[in-house]
Structure formats: structure tokens, C-alpha cells
A and B are shown apart, each in its own frame.
Chain A
Amino acid sequence: DAGVTQSPTHLIKTRGQQVTLRCSPKSGHDTVSWYQQALGQGPQFIFQYYEEEERQRGNFPDRFSGHQFPNYSSELNVNALLLGDSALYLCASSLVGGAGSNYGYTFGSGTRLTVV
């Protein structure tokens, strides 16, 4: 049973560029959340997608956008990259029910983004 798959694993971009990160959820899961984890910090919620709609958003600027496809996979797009966007970007999938439900989130291994 494949878990959450993220690609690419590592990425180096220049300030001002745009980046797209991809996520395939665990088989059977229909909800995808994205988190940003800065070095030495806990993950911070970016947004969650369910039924191809953004269901909730954290405190991130509009430069961060996303998409969910009919097969439940998802993309995270970041425009006008800043040095401060350098982080590990984690995708987490779950069944519908929300963070406080009995359905735990399954995290992928993340995409390490370095902005230079």
C-alpha cells in the first residue's frame, strides 16, 4: 500500500522564480493538506484541499496557491520565491473528517526547497 508520494525530493530555485510541488495521497485518501517546515521548527499549515476546493487556509500569502485533481493528487505552487521560502514542504493526506477526527494524517517525506 503506497503511502504519500511527493516530488521532487529536492529543488533549488532562484529568488523571484516560481515552483510547483506535487503530491499523490495515500491510496483511499481524498483530502490533501500542505505544510511548510522551516529548519528546526514544527510544520505550519498552508492549506487543505478536498473535492478539488481549498477548504481552509493558514497564514500564508497569496503567493502560495494549490490545486487538487479529480484523482485526489495535488500541487502546491509558490510564486515570486523569497529566500524565506526555503523549507521542507510536507504533504499530508487523510480521509474527510478534519484534523480533529479519528482519521490520522499520513505525511509524505517532503520536498526540500532551497531558494538562492
Chain B
Amino acid sequence: QQQVKQSPQSLIVQKGGISIINCAYENTAFDYFPWYQQFPGKGPALLIAIRPDVSEKKEGRFTISFNKSAKQFSLHIMDSQPGDSATYFCAAATSGTYKYIFGTGTRLKVLA
């Protein structure tokens, strides 16, 4: 029940295309859903986050879509660029607790 399932494991997108990464969870107590971007040799960096009281949040080219009834959320990267090539992790947390539950990651490669 504590797991966050992430798909796909890897993704190849042409420059200018849309990258879509999906996550699903079981624990309805989760109320904070961040996405992290990780480059090789670096730690994860917060990209964008959402709470279940909204269905969508957009920041620049990055959008989170959230479906509370389906217990799913996804990251959309519009106009994908080679510099977006990285590993992306979704995560979930519960207010009042102190840990994130991370997905297994998606390795994105954007072809020039």
C-alpha cells in the first residue's frame, strides 16, 4: 500500500515532442505528489509538485495531471529538449510524516 508504481521504465522522444510519465498509488492518505529530476552523478532536484485538491498544475513546459479517483498522476513535458534527458522520479508523501515514497524512475532520452 506504500508503493508508488511508475511507468514507463524508459522513454525515447524526439526533440519538440511530448514526454509523458505515469504514476499510480494505493494509499489514499498521500496528499503531496512531487516530481524529481535527476542527472547522472547528481541528486534529485524538485521539478514540480501537486496536492490532490487540484487536477492540474503547470510550470513552464512541465505539467502535472492528477486523477484522484483513479489514484494516478502524470508528468507531461511539452516541447521536450535534449537537455531534458534525465531520470524522472515521482514521489508521494503524507502531511505530518517525514518521508517520500519514490517510484522506480523513468529514464528519458530526448533525441536532437
Main secondary structure of the interface of B (DSSP, over half): loop
Judge if B95 is at the interface, Cβ distance under 8 Å: yes
Judge if A110 is at the interface, Cβ distance under 8 Å: yes
| Least distance between B26 CB and chain A CB atoms (Å) | 16
Q: Flag if A107 contacts B102 (CB, 8 Å).
A: no
Interface residues of B in 49-85 (CB under 8 A from A): 49
Chain B interface size, as a band, is 20 to 34
Given the interface pairs A33-B98, A55-B98, A104-B49, the reply to whether A99 lies near B43 with Cβ below 8 Å is no
Chain A minimum-CB-distance residue to B30: A100
Chain A residues at the B interface, C-beta cutoff of 8 Å: 4, 31, 33, 40-45, 48, 55-56, 58, 90, 92, 98-101, 104-110
Identify which of A99, A104, A106 contacts B98 (C-beta below 8 A): A99
